[in-house]
Amino acid sequence: MLIRELPQPPPWASEPEIEVSPDFESAQRSALQRQRDKYMAAVHQAVSEFLADPERVAVSEEDGFPSADRLSGEYYASDERYWVVDEPWFKKVGRARQYSFCIELRCLEKPSGESDDDRDYLGLTVNFVWYPDGERFELDGVEPSVI
pLDDT digits (tens, 9 = 90+) for 69-119: 999 999 999 999 999 988 888 888 888 888 999 999 999 998 877 766 789
Q: What is the pTM of this model?
A: 0.91
Contact by Cβ (8 Å): 71, 121: yes
Question: Pairing mode, if any, of strands 17-20 and 98-109?
Answer: unpaired
Question: Which of 58, 59, 75, 87 is closest to 126 using CA atoms?
Answer: 75
- Quick one: pLDDT at residue 112? 78
Beta strands in the chain (DSSP E): 4-5, 17-20, 71-85, 98-109, 120-131, 136-146
**Domain residue spans of the chain:** 17-146
